[in-house]
Chain A
Amino acid sequence: MTEKPIKKIAIFGGTHGNELTGVFLVKHWLQDGAEIQRTGLEVKPFISNPRAVKKCLRYIDCDLNRVFDLENLGKKMSEDLPYEVRRAQEINHLFGQKNSEDSYDIIFDLHNTTSNMGCTLILEDSKNDFLIQMFHYIKTSLAPLPCYVYLIEHPSLKYATTRSIAKYPVGIEVGPQPQGVLRADILDQMRKMIKHALDFIHQFNQGKEFPPCAIEAYKIMEKVDFPRNENGEIAAIIHPNLQMKPQPQHRGLHYGKTGDEPSPFTQMAACLLWTCMCMKKAVCLCSGHPKTKYIILTSSPKAQDLFLSF
C-alpha cells in the first residue's frame, strides 16, 4: 500500500462527450460540491472534453481516452494538432505531469456504456494494492448491487487513458445507457460508487487498517470484431442469447472452442456462418501483506465485446 496520505483527487466527466452520467454529475458538483468533499482532501470535478460535451459527440477529432501516451503529450503545441491531442496536453499540464511527482494522486474517469455491464471499475495495473483495496471496499459497500472489476493490463490492448496521468487511475463504467441519454437509475449507481470511493480514501488517510483481501476481476484477452462482409460492413449481429443476459447463468456459454457452443453472432443472411471466438478469463487479484497472487481460469460472464463501447 501507499505510505503517504492521498491529497489531490480529480473526477473527470465527459471524456466521451455523449456519456451523460459523468457529464451531469460533474456539472452538478461544479455547482454544488458538498457531497464530494472530505476533510483533508482536495476533490476537483472536471469536464475533460468540453467541446465534445457541447456537441454531445464521443469526440471532436480523435478519442481523448486514447491519446495520453508520451508521444502525443510531447508533441509541439500547434493549431494543426487534433483538438483532443491539444486538450490532452492541457489536462496533463493541469493534473499531471504523467509519471511525475506533482501529478494528481487519483483520477476517477466517469464513463457509460450501451452494454449491459452494470457497475464496473476499471483497473490498469494488477499489482496496485491500494486500488485493489479500494475496489474491494466499493464492491462490499454496493452489495447486493453487483460491481465488476475489469483489468485492462495487456501488452498490446492497453490504451493510453485520460486518467493514466494520475498515480492511481480509476475508470468507472456504468451501463446500459444509450449515448446522449441520462437515466436516473444509472446516475444514482455512479454517484454511489464515487461516494464509497471517497469514503474509503478518507478512512485510509485517517490511518484505518485494511486486512488483506481478494477480488475477482475480468482481464482483457482479445477484441472480438463483428463478422464483416467483403465491403467491411457488419454482416451479423450479437446473438440474442448473448445480448443482455443476466450474468451468473451466462457463465461458460462463450468460452469453449469446441464448436458446439452457440455463436455470439446471429447471421443476417443464412449463408454466412461464423464461429465463436473466445473472450476473457477471470483473474483473482489479491492485496495485502502476503504478496501472493493467483489466477483462476474461468469464463467471463461479460462476453460481449466490451472494448467497442469504452
Chain B
Amino acid sequence: MCSLPVPQEPLRRVVVTGGTHGNEMSGVYLARHWLRTPVDLQRPSFSALPMLANPAATAVCRRYIGHDLNRTFTNTFLISKATPDEPYEVTRARELNQLLGPKSSSQAFDFLLDLHNTTANMGTCFITKATDVFAIHLCHHLQLKNPKLPSRVLVYQLSQDETYSLDSVAKHGMTLELGPQAQGVLRADLFSQMRSLVASSLDFIELFNQGTAFPAFEMEVYRFLGCEDFPHTEDGDLAGMVHPQLQDRDFEPLRPGTPVFQMFSGEDVLYKGDSTVYPVFINEAAYYEKNIAFMKSEKLLVSIPALPGLTPVPTPLT
C-alpha cells in the first residue's frame, strides 16, 4: 500500500477532539477546559481548535446515543441522505464532516488529534494509519520526548474508503488512547499525561511548520490483525471471562496453548491460534457488545522514511 503524501505546506488547521466517546473522561474534560481557555492550544504558526465531538453522549456520560460515532465516518454514512429517524451520531458525523472535512478533500483539516480512554491496561498508546508517515513521525517524536513513559504505536491498514474513525476526516490524524481508566471516571494521572502529550504533539507540528526536517528511523509497531470473541452459552450469554493470566497483559506475547478464558464452571480455555500474537484492548468495557474479548496484533519493525523540511516561505502574520 502506498504511503500518504507528507505535507508540503505548514499545518495551520489542526483540531483536538475529546468526547468522541462520551464516557471517556480525560478527553471530555480536557476539551471542556480548552474550550474555556484555548490559549494552551496556541502555537506561533497555528491555533488548534478544541472540540467536543459527541456533546449529546457526553451530556449523559454514555459512549454514544444511537451508534458508535467513531465507526460512522464511512462514505456510506457521510453521503447518505438525512432521515428523521437516523441515529444521532449519523447526523453528527455529517456535521463534523462539514466542519472538519470533507473527508478526502483538499478543504479538510490538516491534522486531527482524537482523545480516548480504555478500560484495558493499554498504558499510553498511539493509534494511526500505517500509511500516515507524518503521524508516525509524530508518534516517534512523542516517544523520544517521553523516554520514561512506555508507549506503543498501534497501526491499522485500511484504504481511505474503508476508514471509519473520526480522525480519518482530516488529511492526517492520530488517536491517543490512555488506560486503564473506567468509563465515567476521571483520574488525575491520566488527565495530566494526556494534557502533556497533546502539548508535545502541537510542539511537533510547530517544529515541522518552522521547517524542521525529521530523519528516517526504524520503529517497533503493533499492527491490528483481528478480534477474539468471548466464550458463550447456547443462549448467547457469556460463559466465561478473560483469564487472570491474560488480564492486564496488553502488548505481551500470547502463545498458542496458553490460557485466555476462565469459564464460570472453573475450567480454562486455551488460545488456539497457530502463532504468537500480541493482544490489545483486553477486556475493554465497550467491546462486550461488539463480542470482542481482545484484539490481536503482530509486532513489526518498520522503516519510516525521512520527513523532509518544508521549503521556507514567508509566513504571513495574521
Binds B, one of A79-87, A149-157, A182-190, A253-261: A182-190
Number of A-B residue pairs, CB cutoff 8 Å, is 82
Taking the complex as formed, is B265 at the interface, i.e. its CB lies under 8 A from any CB of chain A? yes
Instruction: Give chain A interface residues in 27-81, CB to chain B under 8 Å.
Output: 27-28, 31-32, 56
Residue of B nearest to A113 (CB): B182
- CB–CB A240/B189 < 8 A: yes
Interface centre among B187, B243, B244, B264 (most CB of A within 10 A): B264
List A contacts of B186 (CB < 8 A): 234, 237-238
State whether A184 and B244 are in contact (beta carbons under 8 Å apart), knowing that A179-B182, A233-B32, A268-B33 are contacts in the complex.
yes
Identify the stretch in B98-106, B205-213, B284-292 within 8 Å (CB) of chain A at 4 or more residues: B284-292
Is A180 within 8 A of B247, CB to CB? no
- 0/1 per residue, B163-183, Cβ < 8 Å to A? 000000000000000001111
The one of A180, A182, A268 that contacts B29, using a Cβ cutoff of 8 Å: A268
On chain B, the residues within 8 Å of A56 by CB distance are 288-289
A295 at the interface (CB under 8 A from B): no
Cα distance A268–B195 in the bound complex, in angstroms: 10
* A28, A181, A187, most chain B CB atoms within 10 A: A181
Residue pair A180, B286 in contact (C-beta under 8 Å): yes
- Give min CB distance, A4 to chain B, whole Å: 34
Could you say which of B43-51, B152-160, B221-229, B234-242 contacts chain A?
Answer: B234-242
Q: Is A24 an interface residue (CB 8 A)?
A: yes
Main secondary structure of the interface of B (DSSP, over half): loop
Partner of A178, one of B37, B183, B192, B265: B183
Contacts of B288 in A (CB 8 A): 56, 180-181
CB proximity of A182 to chain B, nearest CB, Å = 5
Query: Are A266 and B188 in contact, with the CB atoms below 8 A?
Result: yes
Please tell me if B119 contacts chain A, counting CB pairs below 8 Å.
yes
B185 at the A interface (CB under 8 A):
yes
Interface size of B in residues (CB-CB distance below 8 Å): 34
A182 touches B182 (CB 8 A): no
Chain B neighbourhood of A288, CB < 8 A = none
| B262 on interface, CB distance cutoff 8 Å | yes
Q: Is the interface of A mostly helix, strand, loop or mixed?
A: loop
Docked CA distance A290–B189 (Å): 48
B191 interfacial by beta-carbon distance below 8 Å: yes
Interface string of A241-272 (1 = CB under 8 A from B): 00100000000000000000000001011000
CA distance A108 to B156 in the complex (A): 46
C-alpha spacing A56/B184, complex, angstroms: 14
Inter-chain contact B283/A183, CB cutoff 8 Å: yes
Tell yes or no: A7 within 8 A of B by CB: no
Complex interface: chain A residues within 8 A of B237 (CB): 27
> Is A128's beta carbon under 8 Å from chain B?
no
* B-side contacts of A185, CB under 8 Å: 244, 247
A228 partner residues in chain B, CB cutoff 8 A: none
In the bound complex, CA of A242 to CA of B33 (Å) = 22
Complex alpha-carbon distance, A10 and B282, angstroms: 33
The residue in A56, A178, A243 that gathers the most chain B C-beta atoms within 10 A of its C-beta is: A178
Q: Which of A56, A180, A182, A243 has the most CB of B within 10 A?
A: A180
Alpha-carbon distance between A182 and B238 when the two chains are bound, in angstroms: 10
A176 within 8 A of B: yes
Chain A residues in 8 Å Cβ range of B283: 181-183
Select the residue from A24, A188, A269 with max chain B CB neighbours within 10 A: A24
Complex CA gap A269/B191 in Å reads 12
Docked complex: A174-224 residues within 8 A CB-CB of B: 176-185, 187-188
Q: Which residue of A lies closest to B63 (CB)?
A: A180
Q: Quick check: is A114 within 8 A (CB to CB) of the other chain?
A: yes
> A240-B189, A243-B189 known; A269 and B247 CB under 8 Å?
no
The docked-state distance in angstroms from the alpha carbon of A275 to that of B190 is: 22
Which residue of the partner chain B has the closest CB to A233? B32
A30 CA to B98 CA, complexed, in Å: 51
**In this assembly, does A239 line the interface, its C-beta being within 8 Å of a C-beta of chain B?**
yes
Residues in B with CB closer than 8 Å to A24 are: 238, 241, 264
B285 and A184 contacting across the interface, CB-CB below 8 Å: no
Write the nearest CB–CB distance from B250 to chain A, whole angstroms.
Answer: 14
CA distance in complex: A188, B119 (Å):
20
Q: Which residue in A178, A239, A243, A268 is a CB contact (below 8 Å) of B285? A: A178
Chain A residue contacts of B243, Cβ below 8 A = 184
Residues of chain B with a CB closer than 8 A to A233's CB: 32
Chain A residue nearest to B233 in the complex (CB): A31
* Bound complex: CA A8 to CA B37 (Å): 59
**Could you write out 6 A-B pairs with CB less than 8 Å apart?**
A27-B264, A181-B288, A182-B241, A237-B188, A243-B188, A243-B189
Known contacts A178-B285, A179-B285, A184-B241; 10 further A-B pairs (Cβ under 8 A): A27-B237, A177-B182, A179-B184, A180-B183, A183-B247, A243-B187, A266-B188, A266-B192, A268-B33, A269-B33
5 closest pairs, A vs B, by CB? A178-B182, A180-B285, A28-B264, A114-B182, A178-B119
Which A residues are within 8 Å of any B CB, using their own CB? 24-25, 27-28, 31-32, 56, 114, 176-185, 187-188, 233-234, 237-240, 243, 266, 268-269
B residues neighboring A (CB under 8 Å):
29, 32-33, 37, 119, 180-189, 191-192, 233, 237-238, 241-244, 247, 262, 264-265, 283-286, 288-289
